[in-house]
Structure 1
Amino acid sequence: MGAVLGTGRVGTLTRVALTVVVLLLLLPTRALAAVVAADTSATLVETLPLPTSLVGPESVAFDEYGDGPYSGVSDGRILRWDGADRGWTTYSHPPGYSVAKCMAPKLRPAELTESKCGRPLGLRFHNVSGNLYIADAYKGLMRVGPRGGEAAVLATEADGVPFRFTNGVDVDQVTGEVYFTDSSTRFQRSQHERVTATGDSTGRLMSYDPTTGYLSVLESGMAYPNGLSLSADRSHLVVALTGPCKLVRHWIKGAKAGTSEPFAELPGYPDNVRPDGKGGYWVALHREKTESPYGSDSHLLAVRVSRDGKLVQELRGAKNVRPTEVMERDGGKLYLGSVELNHVAVVKATT
């Protein structure tokens, strides 16, 4: 090969060009898309530590005044960040919450504690009313008013089938319509690994009308539907399918209303989906598809997807951080929720 290509500058450039072509041909389709995505690192700005013994600020939300973040934690409560001096304070709790049972040392299996105390996952405010909607894995769809306090359970079943794993939620800020997912009708959150391992496809996408109380199943038979986000033009929902590592678009308006279509293939297992302020979405990745325990100390934390489903940015960070949500705020700050860590991390993306 070297004799044919020569040993001069032209030969060297030719060899480089051929090498690049061969490498590109060997890359899978998804990797080709990643080549054009901006590769950025998560630079830590600050951490918002939870009170002792609490973990898992899975989702983060901000109210209509920009206060927060608010987050649901492992003992079933919703906490609000009130600044470095006060830290986290209790904003809401589910019906039947007991400090003695839910804040006691975890001597029992997590699923027993969670089933009694609740496990809030997706959070989203309706800015006009100030109501906070909560997708609690065990309690169902809940709502708490603008002053906080005990949350009210709005729905625990659809079409006679109980929720088993209520997960993601979003709100149409114009109509007040609430959209949420039930990740499986067979497995609870404590069995989330079985949802993926068994290829379970019993998840559902639903809507709730707060004016009438009417609940509608928009789509059933879904493979681990998790987080979701309403598009900027309010015409469709982008829903993360965790097991298949992809996003789908479910149309709620227009000629395609009531139908779903592929939106994006992802390089990892997605959790929550949140708007990026540019018409696209931040998608938190709990784990990469082909993550290796060796080599680099960093891995993919999240990807930013454009409004037409293109991967335009990849965010990398330490392997001990496995975010469940990325929420972008003013100044480019990214708030990372996590189901495992004892804090909310605030980072910025740097090249």
Structure 2
Amino acid sequence: MGAVLGTGRVGTLTRVALTVVVFLLLLPTHALAAAVAKDTSATLVETLPLPTTLVGPESVAFDKYGDGPYSGVSDGRILRWDGADKGWTTYSHAPGYNVAKCMAPKLHPAELTESKCGRPLGLRFHNTSGNLYIADAYKGLMRVGPRGGEATVLATEADGVPFRFTNGVDVNQVTGDVYFTDSSTRFPRSQHEMVTATGDSTGRLMKYDPTTGYLDVLQSGMTYPNGLALSADRSHLVVALTGPCKLVRHWIEGPKAGTSEPFAELPGYPDNVRPDGKGGYWVALHREKTESPYGSDSHLLAVRLGRNGRIVQQLRGPKNVRPTEVIERGGGKLYLGSVELGHVAVVKAAT
């Protein structure tokens, strides 16, 4: 027989407590997560400034020795940070890269310059081989060996449909398989605003087998697929959908293999997704959904999610910082990539 609620003060408190519990249970998962997420601010540790005139270190990667960061920049090169004394040095570039034309001041529209010089976005190393895989917005999926130099183009189309906006990439460190996104088959990177404005849903998620060279379209008809990350157990991919402000989970192993499902609703527009080293993910937010030009001087830079998709931490910082990637390294340092700024920022989450 169940307990009977009492009357008076104790009964009232019990009913209030039950009401709160029921209310929380009825909240959507993302709302409940946001309600209990730890709110932290970013404290700047240092900046890694790019050479003059260069901007846009969109993605940040470290090699198997921990060297770096490496990042692709606005003139089409991939640079490596070699410490404060040497700064950034050239590591790689696309085939046909012309130093004089690509490093000169930009006198032409971005699409004309980038289509010739390349615009590297997502970067991931395969630790066993030392190869760096590059999602170049205009050149397609590329790879460069552990000594750097000129990259090799691996794929520029899938099922006869050319890539228009190659964007995010991740590597299965066990099998060597490479997963990447093409954000749109209609609009190039220089028209990325149109992908969101039109609700374009021609994006694709793909897998490249480096052993056979076979390319497989895992899912098509996606709305602005951007960054992605392989789960810690390698059973699924978490993919950011920028326009819809969502994450989806695409299963690659187990009984659900080949299917996708919602993973998280986000309070802003996501870019890259990176593992947090604890089974969850850091998701960079380029801006908030309902950002106001008035009021607070800070906004959400990123959120950290648990392995179940619940937001467990919100990282805030100044509104002039619009990160495209957050990667956590030793000592709690967070490296922030940016498609707009002239440096990589290194911050810590203040308690």
Class of the TM-score when normalised by the shorter of the 2 chains: over 0.9
C-alpha distance in structure 2 between counterparts of 1:292 and 1:286, whole Å: 14
Q: 1:226–1:6: structure 2 CA closer, same or farther, 3 Å change rule?
A: same
The answer for the alignment partner of 1:198 in structure 2 is 198
Structure 1 counterpart SS, 2:141: strand
Q: 1:26–1:92: structure 2 CA closer, same or farther, 3 Å change rule?
A: same
C-alpha distance in structure 1 between counterparts of 2:11 and 2:216, whole Å: 65
- Give the deviation of 1:20 after TM superposition: 10
- Give the deviation of 1:109 after TM superposition: 1.0
Q: Which runs of 4+ in 1 moved over 3 A?
A: 1-32
- Give the deviation of 1:23 after TM superposition: 12
Q: 1:22–1:317: structure 2 CA closer, same or farther, 3 Å change rule?
A: farther
Q: 1:12–1:146: structure 2 CA closer, same or farther, 3 Å change rule?
A: same
- Give the deviation of 1:34 after TM superposition: 1.2
Contact 1:247 1:265 in 2 (8 A): yes
Contact 2:30 2:310 in 1 (8 A): no
Contact 1:336 1:346 in 2 (8 A): yes
Q: 1:157–1:8: structure 2 CA closer, same or farther, 3 Å change rule?
A: same
Q: 1:77–1:13: structure 2 CA closer, same or farther, 3 Å change rule?
A: same
- Give the deviation of 1:33 after TM superposition: 2.8
1:19 and 2:2 aligned: no
C-alpha distance in structure 1 between counterparts of 2:147 and 2:200, whole Å: 39
Residue by residue over 1:133-170, the C-alpha shift from the partner in whole angstroms, topping out at 9 and shown as x without a partner, is: 00000000000000000000000000000000000000
Residue by residue over 1:295-341, the C-alpha shift from the partner in whole angstroms, topping out at 9 and shown as x without a partner, is: 00000000001001110000000000000000000111000000000
Q: 1:262–1:23: structure 2 CA closer, same or farther, 3 Å change rule?
A: closer
Contact 1:324 1:338 in 2 (8 A): yes
Q: 1:294–1:221: structure 2 CA closer, same or farther, 3 Å change rule?
A: same
- Give the deviation of 1:15 after TM superposition: 16
Q: 1:34–1:86: structure 2 CA closer, same or farther, 3 Å change rule?
A: same
C-alpha distance in structure 2 between counterparts of 1:318 and 1:200, whole Å: 30
Q: 1:328–1:298: structure 2 CA closer, same or farther, 3 Å change rule?
A: same
The answer for the alignment partner of 1:253 in structure 2 is 253
Residue by residue over 1:60-110, the C-alpha shift from the partner in whole angstroms, topping out at 9 and shown as x without a partner, is: 000010000000000000000000000000000100101111011111111
Q: 1:256–1:107: structure 2 CA closer, same or farther, 3 Å change rule?
A: same
Contact 2:72 2:121 in 1 (8 A): yes
State the aligned residue count: 351
Farther-moved stretch of structure 1 (97-106 vs 132-141): 97-106
Gap regions ≥5 residues in structure 2: none
Q: 1:206–1:21: structure 2 CA closer, same or farther, 3 Å change rule?
A: closer
- Among the aligned pairs, what percent are the same residue? 90
TM-score w.r.t. the length of structure 1 is 0.93
The answer for the alignment partner of 2:300 in structure 1 is 300
Contact 2:29 2:310 in 1 (8 A): no
1:45 and 2:45 aligned: yes
C-alpha distance in structure 1 between counterparts of 2:8 and 2:255, whole Å: 60
Structure 2 counterpart SS, 1:5: coil
Q: 1:253–1:26: structure 2 CA closer, same or farther, 3 Å change rule?
A: closer
C-alpha distance in structure 2 between counterparts of 1:219 and 1:25, whole Å: 33
Contact 2:239 2:249 in 1 (8 A): yes
Q: 1:316–1:175: structure 2 CA closer, same or farther, 3 Å change rule?
A: same
Contact 1:30 1:267 in 2 (8 A): no
Gap regions ≥5 residues in structure 1: none
Q: 1:308–1:18: structure 2 CA closer, same or farther, 3 Å change rule?
A: closer
The answer for the alignment partner of 2:136 in structure 1 is 136
TM-score w.r.t. the length of structure 2 is 0.93
Structure 2 counterpart SS, 1:90: strand
Residue by residue over 1:192-221, the C-alpha shift from the partner in whole angstroms, topping out at 9 and shown as x without a partner, is: 010011010000000000000000000000
